[in-house]
Structure 1
Amino acid sequence: MSIDTHVAVRRGLTAAEVAQRRADGLTNDVPDRASRSVKDIVRANVLTRINAILGVLFILVVVTGSIVDGMFGLLIIANSSVGIIQEIRAKRTLDRLAIVSQAKPVVRRDGKAEAVAPKEVVLDDIIELGPGDQIVVDGTVVETASLEIDESLLTGEADSVPKGLDAEVLSGSYVVAGSGAYRAKKVGADAYAAKLAEEASKFTLVHSELQTGINKILKFITYLMIPAGLLIIYNQMFSSHQAWRPAVNGMVAALVPMVPEGLVLMTSIAFAVGVVRLGQRQCLVQELPAIEGLARVDVVCADKTGTLTENGMRLSELRRAGADAAEEAQLQQVLAAMAADDPRPNASVQALGEAFSESPGWTQSAVAPFSSAKKWSGLSYGEHGNWLLGAPDVLLDPSTDIAREAEELGSAGLRVLLLGSSDRAVDSDDAPGIVTPQALVVLEQKVRSDARETLDFFASQDVAVKVISGDNAVSVGAVAGSLGLPGGDSPIDARRLPTDKTQLAQTLEESTTFGRVRPDQKREMVGALQSRGHTVAMTGDGVNDVLALKDADIGVSMGSGSPATRAVAQIVLLDNKFATLPYVVGEGRRVIGNIERVSNLFLTKTVYSVLLAFLVGLSGVGSQIFDFDPLPYPFLPRHVTIAAWFTIGIPAFILSLAPNNERARTGFVPRVMKLAVPSGVVIGVATFTAYLIAYAGPDASEKQIVQAGTTALITLIMIAVWVLAIVARPYTWWKILLIAGSVVGYLILFGLPFTRTFFKLDPTNVGLTTTAVVIGAVGIALVELADWLGARARGKAAEAVS
C-alpha cells in the first residue's frame, strides 16, 4: 500500500512496512558493480582460443607417446591458473573499494533520516535530496525547495530541469540545485537506469587500443597457422617420408611457438596487478580501460577547492561594507540564519555555521539555492529582509570600492563572499535585483602540503596542469602561483574566454589558470584540449564538475566528492589526496609500457616460428619440383619449449611487473611490429641457414639429426637472447642480472649431461657449434642494425611532428 498522507511523507515508512516490502521482494536489488562471478572468471580463463589450440596440439603429442614433448601443455594450466588467481584478486579489491565508495541515499523511516546502501531502498521509501545527490531509483517528488535535476547523463540535454511536486525523477540523474524528497516508485530492475545499464554493465577485462591490437594480431596469427600447418604436414608426412610419430612431433613443434601463448596472460596479469596496486593506495578503478588511458594522459585539469586546497574552510573575518552597512550583530544574525536554514550546506556555508551557530529562528518567505551557474544563493525572511550570499565579482559593479577590496583579498589566496541585501524576493524572476553590499565574508583555505610536489612531478613528466575553478580568478591565481605553477600568476577570468572553439583551444594551450568557470565551460575546455590531440584527465569533487568528468578521457573524483561525480568518474581517489594521482598515472604507464615491451618478445617468436615453418614447408614442396632432399622440421616440441623459457617466458613475466614511466602513445600494433618483424625475420632466416648447413640428409644417423637440430637451436637462442637485451633497455642492475641469468640457464641446459640427454641436445660437434655461433653473431649484428635504423626513423618522425 502506497503512502499518501503528508504525515507519512514526513515520517517515511515504518520498520514493519520496510520489512513487509523486503519480504515481498520490493527492494532495489541490483548488483553493486559490474563484476563477473568467480565462475565466469574461471570459464573465461580456461575456455580461450589459445588454450584450445595448445590443447589440440598437446593431444596430438600424447597420441605419439612422447610425453616429454608435451611439456608445453603445462602452459594451459599456467595460463589459466595465473589468470584466474590475478583476476580474482583484482575482483576482490574492486568490490571491497566499491562498497567503501558507494553513494548512500538518505531515507526517512519512522520519522528519522538514515543513510542506507542503495540495495536497501524499498518501494515507497521517502528519499531526501540535496545538491550533488544521485537519484538511485525512479520516483515522484513529494517535497521541493527550488529543486533542479540534471538529466544529461540520461538524455544528453545539458540544461537542468526544475522539479515541482509530483514531478517524475529518474535514476541516473542528479541534483544540481535546491533540495527536496521523492518517493520511490520503481526499484531494482524496473528502474530506468537499471534498464539502460542491463547490457552495458556486463564485465569486460579491458576494451582498449591495446586489447584491440592484440586481438587483431591473434586473429592474423590464426589465419597464418592454417597454411603454415598444411605446409608442415605435407612436408613431414609426404615429402620427408617420416614415420607418423616424428612427423606429428615436427608439425606440433612448428605450430606451438607460433602461438603467443603468454601475451594475453601477461596483459591480464599486468592490468590485474595494476588494479590491486592502486587499490592498496585507496584508489578505486571503476572502469579497467582507465588504466590504459592514464598511461596516455598529457594534460591534467584540476579544480582548486578540494584538489590544490583542503576541503575544509574557516571564517577569517567579517568585513562590513562601509558605514551604511547594517550593524555587525545583525549581519551575524543573518549569516547564522542562512547557515541554519541551508539543508545541504557546502563548505563555505558550513564554515559560517561553525562561526555563527546561534540562529535567530526567522521564518523563510523565499529561497534561491546556490548553483554553479549563477554563483549565488539567497533567502528572504519577510520583514527581516532579502539576503544574498555569493561571488562579489558577480553581484557587484567591478568599479566600486568594495569590489576592488574583494579582489585585493582574493589576490592573497583567500576566498571572499559578498553578503548583500536585495530590493526584491530572492525567488523573483528578475532576482537578484538591486544588490546593496553589506559585508565581505573572508574565508581561509589551506593549500595541500603535497600539492607542490604533485605539480612538480607532472612537470617532470611533461604533463601539463590546468587549474580550472569556479572561484574568483585572482584567488585561483594566487593559490596556483604560490605553488609555482607556470602561468599561475596570470589567471584568466573565464567570463572573458573566447566562444570560438579554435580560439578557446589556443588560449588553453597558452595559459594554465582559469577562474569563474561555469560547469558548461569546463566541459567545453576539456573538448577544446581534446581537439588539439591531448589526452585529458579531469579531477573534481563537486556537482559542477560532472559534465567535464564525463567528457574527459579519464575522470578522477575525490572520495569525498558528490555521489554524482563518483558515479561518472573512471577513478575515485578514496583518500581524497591529489598527491595520489602521480601514482595512478605512474601505474598506468607501467602497465601499458610493460605490455608493449613484452609484446615485442612474444611477437618476435611468432614471426620467426611462422617464417621457419614456411621455409621448411616450402623446401618440401620444392623438393618435389626440383628433385632435392627435403628438410624435416629441425626441432622437437621440447626444443621450442626450452627456447621460450629464458628468452620470453620468465623474462616477460618479470618485465611485465617492472617500473616504467614512459608515456604511452597511440599506434601500438605498428610500433611493436617494427621490432618484431625484422627481428623475427633475422632469427627465422639465420636458424634455417644454420640448419641447412648442419643437416646431413635423409640418411643421417640419429646423432647427426640431433646435432643438426642443436645447431639450429643455438643460433635461434643466441639471437633471441639479444632481442631480449634490446627490449630490456635502458639497462639497470636487475635487467643485466636477468639477461645474464638467461644466458647461464642455457649454458646449463647445453652443458649438463642429464639435460642434454633429457632435451635431446648435442653441441659436441665443434664445427657445427662454431657455425651456429658465427651465424648467431651475424644475426645479432643484423638485429642490432635493424633496431638502430628503427630508432633513427622514430627520431626523425618525432622531429617532424615537433
Structure 2
Amino acid sequence: MVRAVFLYRRDVMGRGMAATDIERGLSTAEVEERIAAGKINRNMELKIKSVRELIIENLCTLFNLINAVLAILVLLTGSFKNLTFLFVVFLNTAIGVIQSMRSKKMVDKLTLLTSKKAIAVRDGAEVELDLDQIVLDDIIRLGRGDQIPADAVVVSGEALVNESLLTGESDLIKKQPGSELMSGSFIDSGLLRARVIHVGADNYVAKINNEAKYVKKVNSEIMNALNAIVRFASLIMIPLGLALFASSVSELWDAAGTPGDSALSWCFSELLAGRVPSSALLSTVGALLGMIPQGLVLLTSSVLAIATVRLARRKVLAQQLYCIETLARVDVLCLDKTGTITSGRMEVEGTYPLPVEGVGFGADSDEAAVPVETTVLDFALANVARATSADANETCQALLNYYADRPVEVSEPLAVIPFSSSKKWSGASFAQGSYVMGAAQFVLSERAFAQVENRVAELADTCRVLVVARVDGFTPDGDMVGEAEPVGFVTIRDEIRTSAAETIGYFNEQGVTLNVISGDDPRTVSSIARVVGVPGADAYVDATTLDTPSKIDAAVDRYHVFGRVTPQQKRELVHALKRRDHTVAMTGDGVNDVLALKEADCSVAMAAGSDAARNVAEIVLVDNDFASMPAVVAEGRRSINNLQRSAALFLTKTLFSMGLAALCIAFPPYPFEPIQMTLINFFCIGAPGFVLGLEPNNARVKGSFLTNVLKRALPASLAVIMAAALDIFVARVFGFNRLTLSTMCLLTSCAASVSLIWRISQPLTPLACGAFCVCRRRHPGGCYRIPAAAVHRQPVDG
C-alpha cells in the first residue's frame, strides 16, 4: 500500500496544477473533448452475471439434465404419478438460484463509493453531476460529509479528511492546496475545491474495488463431496441403465413369445406402434433414480439454513450457507488486531517525564511539591490535545479523557498545527511555550532520538509511544522552528476486549493456529497478542521487510504476529497459508482488510466496520463481539456431524441401487419403480435424516466428510444388496411374481434402513430415539403397502 501511495504522489507532482482555471472550471468544449477521448469517470467494472444467466446456470446442471432425461422416459410410459421425484429437483434448483442471487447481491453491494452526485465547476458555474459524468481535470467542490468521487488534488480551501481507505485508521488528515485526495475518502469538516487527476478504472478506489469484485468459489467439503457423488453416479448410470433396460426388454420379449423377431427389432416395433415397454422403462428409471442422492442436497441446504437462523438469534449474520461448515473446519485463524482483539478505542497507559530544570506549580499557581517535569509534561499533553481536538482522532480523545478529571493549567493556543500524515506530529503554541507531540523518529533530530531510543524501545514493548517536545515555535507553513527538546513520553494502548482472552483460549484448545495481522508497530501487536494468550506471540516480524513472495512464504512458517502489513500483503499472507493446504479464516473491519477477506476460505467482519468489509464477508458479527465466534463453530460442528450421519442414509440408497442394478442385469427384473424409490427416499431416508440433522452435536470435526459417510453407508448397502439377491433367488425358486418380489425387496430395504438408523443414532438421545421408533413403525406400513397396492396393477411372472 505504501509503495502505491508514493508512486501516486510522484504522478501527482509531475502533472502540475495549472491545467484548469479554478473559478471557471472546464468549458463545455473541453468537457466534450475529454468525453470523446474516454477520460470520463466511468469504471471498467468486471463482468457480473445477470439474473437470467444465474437462473440458466443453475437450471443447466448435470444433476438436472439427468433428472430431465429420466422424466422424459417416464412421460413416454404415461405413468405421471412416477414423476413425483421432480419435486425434489425443483427444490434443489430453487435453492441453487437463491444462493447464487445472494452471492450476486453481495458482489453488487461491494462498492466503496456510496454518494451519487457531485458538484463541479463548469463554464464559471457550479453544476450537479452524476459520478460517471465527471471528466479528467474537472474542478469539484467538496464539503462536510461528501465522499471524494475521484482521485484529485486540492487547489483551494482546507478540510479534514478521513483516509481510512488507505490506512485503516480513523485519524483525520488536514488537506490544503497541493494535497492529494483519494477517491473513497470522506470530508469530515471544511470546504475545498480540487482538480480531478484520475478517472474511472485509474482511481485508487476502483483498483481496490475491482480486485475484490468477483464471485469467490465456495470452499465446502460437503459441497465438493456431493458434486463428486453426482459425477460418479452419472458415469455409472449410463452403462448400467442401458444394460438394465436391454435386460428388461429381453425378458419381456421372451414373455411375448415372438421368436421370429429379435429383441431389438421387437422393442423398436413396440415403440413405433405406441406400445412402449413401460415396465422396462419404469424399472430402469427407478434404478437410475436410486443412484442419485436427490434429497441430500436439499437436506444439506435445510440444515445449514436452520443453523443460520440459530446464529441470527445470537446476533451473527451468515451471508453464505456453506461458510458455517468452512469455519468449523478452519485450522488457521488470521485476526486483525483493531476491532477484533481490541475495541478500536485508545486509552492512556501512562506518562513518563524526562528531567528538566525548574520548579513545579499546582493548579492555583502556588509552588507545589509536584516535580517540574511532571507539570511540564502534563501541561503540554493536556493543552496540545485540547488545541488539536478538531483532529478527532483516537489518540487525541484518549488524552482528553485522561486529563478530564486531572487538575492541569489550561492555556489558550496562539497557533495550532493539526496532525499531518506527512509530518506524523501535531503541535500548538501557548504563552508558556510551543510543544509538539508525535512519533519520536519524526519529531526529534537524529542526535536527540539516539539519546532516548532505548527508552522508546522499552516503552514500545507494550504500547504506542509518543514523544512530547518543546520547540521555539512554528513557521507559517507549519514546520518546527529550532531543534525539538524532548520533555517526556506518553504511552497509548488499545483497549483490549474483555472477552478476547477467553475466545483466544477457546481456539487454542481446539487446535486452531492463530495469526495476528495488523498495520501497527509489530512490537505493539506482539505485546497485545501476548496479553490475550496467542501462542508464539513473542516472535514477530515487520512486514515492510517482506518485499518478495519467498520472504512471505518463509514468514508464515515462522511467525504468528505480523506488523505494518499492507492490504496487499494481508492477501498474500492468506494465500501463502492456503497454498500449504490450510483452511484459513480471516477477521477484519476495514476497507484495508477487503482483499484478505475475499481471499480467505471463510471471512468474518464486524458490523461496525466499513460497508465494503461487511458486504464481502461471509459472516458478520452484528454485536461486534469476537466472543460470538465459538457459537459459529458450534453450529458448524452440529451441521457437519449430523449431516455425516444423515448422508450415510442417502449414500446407502445410491450404492445399493448401483449394486442391485448390476445384479438385475443378469437376473431381471429390477424390483423398484420411480414412485417406490421416491417413497423410500422420504420415509426411510429423508424424514429420519432431517430429524437427525437437528440434534445437538458439538464434537470436534474429524476426518474427511466423504470417507466418514462411506464407512457407514458401504456396509448397509452391501447388506441390502445381499438381501435383495436372496429375495430374487427365492422369487425365482418359488415362482413369485413381480409384485411379490417388489414387496419382498421393499421389506428388506426398510429393515436395512431401520438398522442403519439405529446404528448412526448412537448414543441414543430422546430426539434420535423418537425418530427411530417412528421410522420403525412407519416403514413397513407406509413404505411397502402403498407401493404394492398403488403401483402394480397386474402381476408379471419372473
Report the TM-score when normalising by structure 1: 0.67
Q: Following the alignment from structure 2 to structure 1, what is the Cα–Cα distance between the partners of residues 751 and 139?
A: 71
1:695-734 mapped onto 2 (5 Å cutoff): 695-696=732-733, 700=735, 704-729=737-762, 731-734=764-767
* Residues 1:71 and 2:56 aligned together: no
Residue 54 of structure 1 is matched in structure 2 by 67
Give CA-to-partner distance per residue, 1:324-358, whole Å, 9 cap, x none.
56564344333334443x4xx54223334665898
Percentage of identical aligned residues: 31
Q: Alpha-carbon deviation of 1:607?
A: 1.9
1:284-683 mapped onto 2 (5 Å cutoff): 290-315=323-348, 318-323=351-356, 326=376, 328-340=378-390, 342=391, 345-352=392-399, 360=413, 362=415, 364=417, 368-369=420-421, 377-379=424-426, 387-390=436-439, 404=455, 407=458, 416-420=465-469, 436-443=485-492, 445-468=494-517, 483=532, 485=533, 487=535, 491-492=538-539, 494=541, 504-505=555-556, 507-508=558-559, 514=561, 518-519=565-566, 533-541=581-589, 549=597, 552-562=600-610, 569-617=617-665, 619=666, 630-656=667-693, 658-661=695-698, 668-669=705-706, 672-673=709-710, 675-677=712-714, 679-683=716-720
Q: Following the alignment from structure 2 to structure 1, what is the Cα–Cα distance between the partners of residues 449 and 336?
A: 25
The question of whether the paired residues in 2 share the 8 Å contact of 1:139 and 1:182 is answered with no
Q: Following the alignment from structure 1 to structure 2, what is the Cα–Cα distance between the partners of residues 134 and 659?
A: 50
Q: Alpha-carbon deviation of 1:298?
A: 1.7
The question of whether the paired residues in 1 share the 8 Å contact of 2:606 and 2:620 is answered with yes
The count of residues paired between Structure 1 and Structure 2 equals 690
Alpha carbons of structure 1 residues 522 and 394: separation in structure 2 relative to 1, 3 Å: farther
Q: Following the alignment from structure 1 to structure 2, what is the Cα–Cα distance between the partners of residues 427 and 35?
A: 55
The question of whether the paired residues in 1 share the 8 Å contact of 2:244 and 2:662 is answered with yes
One-letter identity of the residue aligned with 1:694: A
Q: Following the alignment from structure 2 to structure 1, what is the Cα–Cα distance between the partners of residues 761 and 695?
A: 10
Alpha carbons of structure 1 residues 78 and 613: separation in structure 2 relative to 1, 3 Å: same
Counterpart of 1:307 in 2: which secondary structure? helix
The answer to which of 735-744 and 162-171 deviates more is 162-171
Q: Alpha-carbon deviation of 1:658?
A: 4.8
Q: Following the alignment from structure 1 to structure 2, what is the Cα–Cα distance between the partners of residues 151 and 327?
A: 34
Alpha carbons of structure 1 residues 669 and 73: separation in structure 2 relative to 1, 3 Å: same
Alpha carbons of structure 1 residues 637 and 127: separation in structure 2 relative to 1, 3 Å: farther
Give CA-to-partner distance per residue, 1:18-74, whole Å, 9 cap, x none.
xxx9xxxx998999997964x667666655543443344344435434444443344
Q: Alpha-carbon deviation of 1:228?
A: 1.2
Counterpart of 2:753 in 1: which secondary structure? helix
Counterpart of 1:539 in 2: which secondary structure? strand
The question of whether the paired residues in 2 share the 8 Å contact of 1:141 and 1:180 is answered with no
One-letter identity of the residue aligned with 1:448: R
Give CA-to-partner distance per residue, 1:439-473, whole Å, 9 cap, x none.
32344654323324323432343223344556677
Residue 364 of structure 2 is matched in structure 1 by none
Alpha carbons of structure 1 residues 688 and 187: separation in structure 2 relative to 1, 3 Å: farther
* Residues 1:236 and 2:248 aligned together: yes
Q: Following the alignment from structure 1 to structure 2, what is the Cα–Cα distance between the partners of residues 195 and 493?
A: 30
Q: Following the alignment from structure 2 to structure 1, what is the Cα–Cα distance between the partners of residues 283 and 644?
A: 31
Q: Alpha-carbon deviation of 1:227?
A: 1.0
Counterpart of 2:740 in 1: which secondary structure? helix
One-letter identity of the residue aligned with 1:680: S
The question of whether the paired residues in 2 share the 8 Å contact of 1:539 and 1:557 is answered with yes
Alpha carbons of structure 1 residues 407 and 268: separation in structure 2 relative to 1, 3 Å: same
Q: Alpha-carbon deviation of 1:746?
A: 0.6
Residue 785 of structure 1 is matched in structure 2 by none
Structure 1 unpaired stretches of 5+? 13-20, 112-117, 154-161, 371-375, 620-629, 763-802
One-letter identity of the residue aligned with 1:72: F
Q: Following the alignment from structure 1 to structure 2, what is the Cα–Cα distance between the partners of residues 544 and 523?
A: 10
One-letter identity of the residue aligned with 1:461: Q
Q: Alpha-carbon deviation of 1:274?
A: 5.1
Q: Following the alignment from structure 1 to structure 2, what is the Cα–Cα distance between the partners of residues 695 and 134?
A: 85
* Residues 1:266 and 2:299 aligned together: yes
The question of whether the paired residues in 2 share the 8 Å contact of 1:607 and 1:677 is answered with yes
The question of whether the paired residues in 1 share the 8 Å contact of 2:723 and 2:748 is answered with yes
Q: Following the alignment from structure 1 to structure 2, what is the Cα–Cα distance between the partners of residues 642 and 542?
A: 51
Q: Following the alignment from structure 1 to structure 2, what is the Cα–Cα distance between the partners of residues 601 and 368?
A: 65
Alpha carbons of structure 1 residues 194 and 612: separation in structure 2 relative to 1, 3 Å: farther
Q: Alpha-carbon deviation of 1:230?
A: 0.9
The question of whether the paired residues in 2 share the 8 Å contact of 1:128 and 1:181 is answered with yes
Q: Following the alignment from structure 2 to structure 1, what is the Cα–Cα distance between the partners of residues 333 and 387?
A: 39
1:149-298 mapped onto 2 (5 Å cutoff): 206=218, 208=220, 210-241=222-253, 244-270=277-303, 272-273=305-306, 278=311, 281-283=314-316, 290-298=323-331
* Residues 1:757 and 2:770 aligned together: no
The question of whether the paired residues in 2 share the 8 Å contact of 1:451 and 1:579 is answered with yes
Counterpart of 1:538 in 2: which secondary structure? strand
The question of whether the paired residues in 2 share the 8 Å contact of 1:367 and 1:426 is answered with no
One-letter identity of the residue aligned with 1:561: G
One-letter identity of the residue aligned with 1:369: S
Q: Alpha-carbon deviation of 1:221?
A: 1.7
The question of whether the paired residues in 1 share the 8 Å contact of 2:332 and 2:582 is answered with yes
Q: Following the alignment from structure 1 to structure 2, what is the Cα–Cα distance between the partners of residues 271 and 31?
A: 33
Residue 766 of structure 1 is matched in structure 2 by none
One-letter identity of the residue aligned with 1:556: V
Q: Alpha-carbon deviation of 1:234?
A: 0.8
* Residues 1:747 and 2:766 aligned together: no
Counterpart of 1:312 in 2: which secondary structure? strand
Q: How large is the Cα RMSD of the aligned pairs?
A: 5.8
Report the TM-score when normalising by structure 2: 0.68
Counterpart of 2:627 in 1: which secondary structure? helix
Alpha carbons of structure 1 residues 475 and 87: separation in structure 2 relative to 1, 3 Å: closer
Counterpart of 1:695 in 2: which secondary structure? helix
Q: Following the alignment from structure 1 to structure 2, what is the Cα–Cα distance between the partners of residues 360 and 718?
A: 89
Q: Following the alignment from structure 1 to structure 2, what is the Cα–Cα distance between the partners of residues 196 and 495?
A: 23
One-letter identity of the residue aligned with 2:508: A
Alpha carbons of structure 1 residues 453 and 79: separation in structure 2 relative to 1, 3 Å: same
Alpha carbons of structure 1 residues 527 and 754: separation in structure 2 relative to 1, 3 Å: closer
